[in-house]
Amino acid sequence: MVVDADICGIKVGHRYPSHIMGVINLSPESFYQSSVVSQDSVLEIALKMVKDGATFLDLGARSTWRFSEQISKKEELERILPALEVLEGNVDAVISVDTMFPEIAEEALKKGADIINDVSGFTTDPRMIEVVAEYGCPAVVMASIKRPGDALGMNSIIEALDSIIWAAEAGGINQKNLILDPAIGSWTEFKLPIHDFEILDDFERLNIFEKPLLAALSRKSFIGEVLGKPATERLYGSLAAAAIAAYKGAHIIRTHDVPETVDVVRLGGALRSRANVVKESIYEVSVLEVKTPQDAAVAMREIGATSISSQVMQYKNIHLMLKIRNLKTTDGLIIKQEMLSLGGNAAFKRNTVFHETEMTDVLIMGTVLQLERVAKKLKRQGNSLPLIGEMIYECIANRNDLAYRYLR
């Protein structure tokens, strides 16, 4: 899962340091009032961000905070265009415009914008796909199903991004021009901090798409939930989250606080190990770190496998090792026999096979499918095995249970 992209002349991917995208906030309705920039100071702020280490600048004129007052498209455009005019030719950075509307995107591209950042992932107005395809520009697409950020949980996020990618390709967008955003933040009333915890914790799952990844987490509400602080006091929390995102594989970090974020992102990225890939002539072999059956299915569809074959094979690709403690020797032997019959394996204390020990721990190894099948078979056995079968089911299910993983 190696990303090696060129975004408007900027090299982005696993072999390069994570880039900083500075936020130029032109919306007085923003949740973070201290970040709002006046038209008179746009160039000054932009130049300072670039000097401090930003390679991308993201201009936004409409607050996407769900409690903010909504403005007209006309007002959004009247805020964006003067800022673009003053930046064009005066700032050495890639300019992104944050908008969900194709007519605004088109005018912004005409005025020198390089990237369109659509937090609705082309769902607010599908005509955005036509604009991006026509101009051949890169686009940031955020995981969305029917409205911005409504995908809850990483499984739903991956499914949403998968759909967006397919729709973009069908609409003529070059796949190399897509940048993926997993939608960190309280985008809907149903979005909870634990959903953002999962995104950061499992951020590397997004590498399955082999596309540049953007993390927009600066001063977001989940940080405030943990620290009990308002947006103005979330700098250190934002820095911690940015370092984690860089370590987990984010290629671009969108932030209000450029100089502070540069250092932590550089360190987080340095700690991230190199992607395992071997190239020779026209050939390439790389390791796919696949964590869930769903991700395995995405990887198969990415190479052109059919949806049906991907669904059939996805549960055969994720291997787990479970440890079962304090089993009677007889029960341990039965579990090993059942695992072997399913194509998996098991290990236990030496001499268990000769009943020279009364109790043993057991390691069972196999695919998710094999482990679920052995759990089902154990529920029909005697002694402690039905209980062990239930516990295996629960242990596997806990991997995707957000309440279990993050509520203390």
Contacts of 263 (CB under 8 A, 6+ apart): none
Closest C-alpha to 85, from 136, 30, 141, 46: 46
Encode pLDDT of 160-190 as tens digits.
999 999 999 999 999 999 999 999 999 999 9
Residue indicated by tokens 């149903």? 190
Q: Which residues are marked as active site?
A: 220, 254
10-residue averages of pLDDT along the chain (408 residues): 88 92 88 80 95 96 80 91 93 96 96 96 95 97 95 95 95 96 94 95 94 95 94 95 95 96 93 88 88 89 86 86 94 94 92 79 94 95 93 94 90
In this predicted structure, what is the pLDDT of residue 27?
Answer: 84
Q: Return d(Cα 139, Cα 165) in angstroms, integer.
A: 11
In this predicted structure, what is the pLDDT of residue 370?
Answer: 94
Q: Return d(Cα 30, Cα 162) in angstroms, integer.
A: 30
Distance of CA 128 to the CA centre of its chain: 22
In this predicted structure, what is the pLDDT of residue 35?
Answer: 77
CATH 3.30.1370, the chain: domain bounds: 319-404
Q: Which helix (H) or strand (E) holds 365?
A: strand 359-367
Give the CA distances from residue 284 to residues 176, 281, 305, in Å, rounded to whole numbers and listed in that order: 18, 8, 19
In this predicted structure, what is the pLDDT of residue 1?
Answer: 61
List of long-range contacts for 49-54, beta carbons under 8 Å, 24+ apart: 49/22, 49/24, 49/93, 49/258, 50/22, 50/91, 50/92, 50/93, 52/22, 52/258, 52/259, 52/262, 53/20, 53/258, 53/259, 53/262, 54/20, 54/21, 54/22, 54/93, 54/258
CATH 3.20.20.20, the chain: domain bounds: 4-273
Closest C-alpha to 272, from 17, 26, 1: 17
4-273: CATH, from 2.30.30.90, 3.50.40.10, 3.30.930.10, 3.20.20.20: 3.20.20.20
By CB atoms closer than 10 A (0-12, 13-18, 19+), residue 397 is exposed
Distance of CA 9 to the CA centre of its chain: 24
Closest C-alpha to 49, from 218, 275, 233: 218
- 319-404, what's its fold? Ribosomal Protein S8; Chain: A, domain 1 (3.30.1370)
By CB atoms closer than 10 A (0-12, 13-18, 19+), residue 237 is buried
In this predicted structure, what is the pLDDT of residue 307?
Answer: 84
